[in-house]
């Protein structure tokens, strides 16, 4: 998590010095002086950048380059405004600022009906009260047909509220709803708001969506050329209000944009507070589905009090949104990318500490300071759970599909990894790629798991560099077509060459040896070091084929069953030496060794066997290499200190399901 903070420029009640002291590295800002639609000049961007730099931080995310209403409406001089927008993007990219937040909400950027909902401890938070919004809409704005947008119950409550509230209190609700963001747009009056609403007469949800996709496809080539990441902010609240259309409220909206604008550079600002404004939304599922298109994150939480009425939570971590799970997904995505994502603590309580400032809940110092500290603590705790930091790890087959991604995860968690592989050049290239991402604690070593002397050489090289070996991961292994019998079952008509009787013994022995002996020999070489040192941990690679023989892969299944048994044997044998030995049994992951069995030549269509696998996997999908990370780190960490001899399936339920 790159720690971000929204700064509203020189008029902000919170200074850059205070922001820095909160621990922030990445300032989120804009050229607030420029009117919506104007080009942002390079000199002004540079001046703001210099201001932030002088305070010891970087301006890395823009929030927002606002989209002119005529682009949203695709009316009037919208072409000129799109050209201006592109020019601003070019100028920002020239200055190295490439993450751009914006929204496509008509008229209002966000809506709250109470800016100071008091909590029992005297601090205040922002609140969206469905009844107050209905009261404003029906009785103050007097929008035609407004009542039908609210339930009968809410309508009745709104009527009662309107007749019971003082004029001053009603005006306060209106002012809250029509308030602009600090330093951005001006506050609106009711007549001005009515005029703005009129400009959207006849603009349906469909029309607004199409206008969004057209705009994005117009700027997409530029974004792809310059590496600019566009991050649309979800609607707030995520449903139509005041009769205005909404286009970015649900997972279906996100999905449609991805389909219509085919570039990962055109992505999202993942705002948990906005998405959380829909009681039915599942923010965790949305993050998981769109992770690679999430370019910027706002983390905060909401609490529902009644119906669709919600307020901001007193704690960023608890409330409707599952922030701990989202932080896990964020960390996973950062590891996959090899770089951090800017997260800003969104909103926060107005507390005593802010009493001398001209600010309100949401944009206070104290509330966001607490929020950032909570998020930082959560990230720290998650990154240090299943801790492998500082451990010296030997991973065989580390240049392969599963173990390369696992190596990256272990490095990101502070381990040092000796990358052993038969393909020395590939191992070297892999380490160079890791180094380019800042993961430098590696050594690439060409070694053959079937050749003890080559493993001993590797051991000496590792001990020379790092002085100890804490963990061994036996990743080298796999299947080979020569160790399989092409026929699933033998019938009278099956050509003998395709049956068990036609098995190529050379192929069979190769696969069996590579997997089993290729696990045993590294244990002999590296576990001895662990025994001499006083302890260590081993992770073997087993497979589903060990529990339930898979048709065709005769040699592979037998070898993996041997590994399961050997894991228990060695765990028992080395327990007094404080060396734990466990294994993972991955389910089906599409990798080099099984691609030919699971996918047709087009690499998309499932083979009949691939179909069988998916229908026997209760989770109905192949695994992603990152699904192994948590299980591996857990078994290797001290949290599993009383666990040895275990083979843990990571298989989407494959082994539990009989198929019936």
Catalytic residue ranges: 556
Query: Minimum distance between the CB of residue 460 and ligand NAD, rounded to whole angstroms?
Result: 17
Asked whether the beta carbons of 409 and 629 are under 8 A apart, the reply is yes
Of the candidates 336, 391, 329, the residue with the CA atom closest to the CA atom of residue 636 = 391
Beta carbon nearer to ligand NAD, 178 or 455: 455
Asked whether the beta carbons of 241 and 111 are under 8 A apart, the reply is yes
* Dihedral over Cα of 500, 505, 509, 511: its sign: negative
Query: Minimum distance between the CB of residue 609 and ligand NAD, rounded to whole angstroms?
Result: 13
Query: Minimum distance between the CB of residue 493 and ligand NAD, rounded to whole angstroms?
Result: 31
Query: Minimum distance between the CB of residue 429 and ligand NAD, rounded to whole angstroms?
Result: 12
Tracing tokens 């898979």 back to the chain, one arrives at 550
Q: Which of the 8 DSSP states describes residue 504?
A: -
User: What tokens appear for 465 in the block?
Assistant: 């560099």
Angle 356-359-360 (CA atoms, 0-180°, nearest 5)?
A: 115
Beta carbon nearer to ligand NAD, 241 or 598: 598
Beta carbon nearer to ligand NAD, 291 or 419: 419
Spatial separation of the C-alpha atoms in residues 76 and 620, rounded to whole Å: 50
Give the SS3 label for residue 165: coil
Beta carbon nearer to ligand NAD, 392 or 473: 473
Asked whether the beta carbons of 340 and 330 are under 8 A apart, the reply is no
Query: Minimum distance between the CB of residue 459 and ligand NAD, rounded to whole angstroms?
Result: 14
Residues forming the site for ligand NAD (CB under 6 A): 396-397, 399-403, 421-423, 447-450, 475-478, 514, 518, 541, 543, 586, 588-589, 591-594
How many other C-beta atoms are found inside a 10 Å radius of the C-beta of residue 496?
A: 10
What H or E segment, with its residue span, contains residue 305? strand 302-306
Query: Minimum distance between the CB of residue 657 and ligand NAD, rounded to whole angstroms?
Result: 17
When CB distances to ligand NAD are compared, the closest residue is 400
User: What tokens appear for 349 in the block?
Assistant: 């309580």
User: What tokens appear for 545 in the block?
Assistant: 């084929």
What DSSP string runs through 534-560? T-EEEEEE--HHHHSPPSS-HHHHHHH
How many residues are listed for the chain in this entry?
660
Q: Is 319 left (phi over 0), alpha (psi -120 to 50) or beta?
A: left
Give the SS3 label for residue 115: strand
Asked whether the beta carbons of 526 and 577 are under 8 A apart, the reply is no
Beta carbon nearer to ligand NAD, 329 or 401: 401
Beta carbon nearer to ligand NAD, 386 or 519: 519
Q: Which of the 8 DSSP states describes residue 188?
A: P
Query: Minimum distance between the CB of residue 398 and ligand NAD, rounded to whole angstroms?
Result: 7
Spatial separation of the C-alpha atoms in residues 15 and 20, rounded to whole Å: 9
Q: Is 362 left (phi over 0), alpha (psi -120 to 50) or beta?
A: left
Beta carbon nearer to ligand NAD, 88 or 442: 442
Spatial separation of the C-alpha atoms in residues 660 and 645, rounded to whole Å: 30
Pairing of strands 26-29, 2-6: parallel
Asked whether the beta carbons of 123 and 367 are under 8 A apart, the reply is yes
What is the number of alpha carbons within 13 Å of residue 150 lying toward its C-beta?
28
Query: Minimum distance between the CB of residue 652 and ligand NAD, rounded to whole angstroms?
Result: 11
Beta carbon nearer to ligand NAD, 364 or 594: 594
What H or E segment, with its residue span, contains residue 312? strand 309-312
Beta carbon nearer to ligand NAD, 171 or 592: 592
Query: Minimum distance between the CB of residue 480 and ligand NAD, rounded to whole angstroms?
Result: 10
């Amino acid at each position: 998590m790159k720690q971000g903070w929204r700064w509203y420029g020189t008029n902000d009640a919170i200074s850059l010095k205070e922001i820095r002291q909160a621990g922030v590295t990445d300032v989120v800002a804009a050229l607030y002086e420029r009117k919506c639609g104007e080009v942002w000049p390079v000199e002004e961007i540079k001046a703001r950048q210099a201001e932030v730099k002088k305070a010891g931080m970087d301006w890395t995310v823009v929030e927002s380059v606002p989209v002119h209403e005529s682009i949203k409406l695709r009316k009037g001089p919208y072409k000129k405004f799109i050209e201006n927008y592109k020019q601003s993007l070019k100028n920002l990219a020239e200055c190295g600022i490439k993450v751009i937040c914006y929204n496509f909400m008509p008229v209002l950027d966000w809506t709250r009906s109470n800016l100071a909902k008091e909590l029992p401890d005297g601090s205040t938070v922002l609140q969206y009260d469905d009844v107050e919004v209905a009261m404003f809409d029906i009785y103050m704005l007097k929008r035609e047909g407004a009542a039908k947008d609210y339930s009968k119950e809410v309508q009745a409550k709104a009527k009662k509220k309107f007749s019971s509230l003082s004029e001053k209190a009603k005006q306060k609700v209106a002012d809250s709803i029509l308030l602009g963001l600090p330093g951005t747009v001006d506050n609106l009056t009711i007549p001005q708001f009515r005029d703005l609403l009129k400009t959207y007469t006849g603009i349906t949800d469909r029309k607004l969506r199409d206008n969004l996709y057209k705009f994005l496809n117009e700027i997409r080539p530029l974004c792809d050329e310059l590496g600019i990441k566009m991050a649309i902010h979800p609607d707030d609240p995520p449903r139509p209000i005041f009769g205005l259309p909404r286009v970015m409220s649900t997972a279906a909206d996100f999905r449609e944009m991805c389909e219509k604008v085919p570039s990962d550079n055109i992505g999202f600002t993942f705002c948990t507070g906005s998405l959380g404004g829909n009681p039915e939304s599942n923010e965790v599922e949305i993050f998981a589905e769109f992770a690679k298109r999430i370019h910027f994150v706002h983390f905060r939480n909401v609490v529902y009090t009644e119906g669709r009425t919600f307020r901001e939570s007193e704690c960023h971590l608890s409330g409707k949104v599952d922030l701990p799970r989202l932080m896990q997904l964020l960390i996973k995505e950062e590891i996959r990318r090899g770089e951090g994502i800017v997260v800003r603590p969104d909103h926060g309580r107005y507390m005593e500490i802010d009493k001398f400032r001209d600010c309100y809940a949401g944009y206070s110092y104290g509330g966001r300071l607490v929020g950032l500290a909570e998020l930082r603590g959560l990230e720290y705790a998650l990154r240090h759970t299943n801790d492998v930091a500082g451990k010296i790890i030997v991973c065989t087959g580390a240049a392969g599909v599963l173990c390369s991604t696992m190596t990256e995860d272990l490095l990101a968690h502070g381990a040092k990894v000796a990358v052993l592989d038969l393909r020395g050049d590939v191992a070297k290239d892999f380490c160079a790629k890791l180094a380019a991402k800042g993961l430098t604690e590696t050594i690439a070593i060409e070694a053959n798991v079937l050749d003890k002397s080559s493993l001993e050489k590797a051991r000496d090289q590792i001990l020379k560099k790092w002085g100890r070996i804490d963990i061994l991961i036996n990743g080298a292994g796999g299947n080979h077509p020569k160790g399989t019998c092409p026929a699933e079952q033998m019938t009278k008509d099956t050509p003998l060459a395709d049956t068990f009787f036609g098995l190529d013994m050379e192929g069979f022995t190769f696969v069996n040896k590579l997997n089993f002996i290729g696990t045993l020999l590294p244990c002999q070489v590296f576990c001895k070091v662990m025994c001499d040192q006083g302890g260590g941990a081993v992770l073997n690679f087993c497979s589903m084929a060990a529990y339930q023989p898979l048709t065709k892969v005769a040699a592979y299944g037998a070898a993996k069953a041997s590994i399961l048994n050997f894991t228990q044997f060695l765990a028992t044998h080395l327990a007094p030496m404080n060396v734990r030995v466990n294994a993972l049994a991955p389910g089906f992951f599409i990798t080099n060794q099984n691609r030919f069995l699971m996918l047709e030549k087009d690499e998309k269509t499932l083979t009949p066997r691939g179909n069988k696998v998916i229908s026997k996997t209760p989770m109905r999908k192949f695994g992603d290499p990152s699904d192994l990370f948590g299980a591996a780190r857990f078994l290797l960490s001290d949290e599993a200190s009383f666990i040895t001899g275990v083979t843990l399936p990571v298989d989407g339920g494959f082994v539990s399901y009989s198929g019936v």
